[in-house]
Amino acid sequence: MLKKKDTLIAPSLLASNFLETGSEVQMINDSAADWLHLDVMDGRFVPNISFGIPVIRDIHRVAQKPLDVHLMIVEPDQYAEAFKQAGADHLTVHYEACTHLHRSLQLIRSLGMKAGVAINPHTPVLLLQDIIEDADIVLVMSVNPGFGGQSFIPRTYEKLRQLRRMIDDRGLDTLIEVDGGVTMENAGEIVAAGADVLVAGNTVFSAPDPREVIGKLKGEKAN
């Protein structure tokens, strides 16, 4: 299992300038960020297409932070080994996309990656109670997946509190990751509700000084 620590920051490359991908990755290397978040979309599970294995392989050549790969795709088991070979350190699949979720998480772990499960805004936390021990990461989507720049869904706070209780009551080290609409204004409240990892896209990459924003997010702690 991953060891808990202070709030982890995972800038989402989806919000970056793709014409300057190498420079954007280097900026993250030089920042206080902990992970590099990579959203893979197939146009089927979500109504958008982003990037895939060849791009991640190239990013891995220059990235100095763990690659936190979020698969928003159908039939993710077919590609798990390929993403491992491309350099993924963590591989997160969607509860809603996996017919046999336990098998999917075990496959990811068997390949030497940290296994994550993501849930969409409409999916209750309660549905994770039978597989939570098999997940290193639970990624709570705080917007509907597929596009960046959306507003944070307030109901997420209660979901985070429920998930925090579930994890703590069982004495697990599972990390809670939040993706979607994370800003400087709500980051503290998100962490206070139970989040360990903040995924930030537009908040980081639209800022005049992205590294400064990453550093400020890194300093957010629950009261």
Residues involved in catalysis = 39, 179
DSSP structure string for 74-91: SSGGGGHHHHHHHT-SEE
> Dihedrals φ, ψ of 16, to 5°?
-85, 175
- Give CA–CA dist 156/141, Å, rounded: 8
> What's the token pair of residue 93?
């699949």
Sign of the CA dihedral with 16 first, then 143, 194, and 119 last: negative
- Answer whether 36's CB lies under 8 Å from 56's CB: no
Coil, strand, or helix at residue 156? helix
b/e sequence 14-47, b meaning 16+ C-beta within 10 Å: bbbeeeebeebbebbeebebbbbbbbbbbeebbe
Q: Kindly give, in sequence order, each residue whose CB lies less than 8 Å from that of residue 174, ignoring residues fewer than 6 positions away.
A: 1, 132, 135, 136, 137, 138, 167
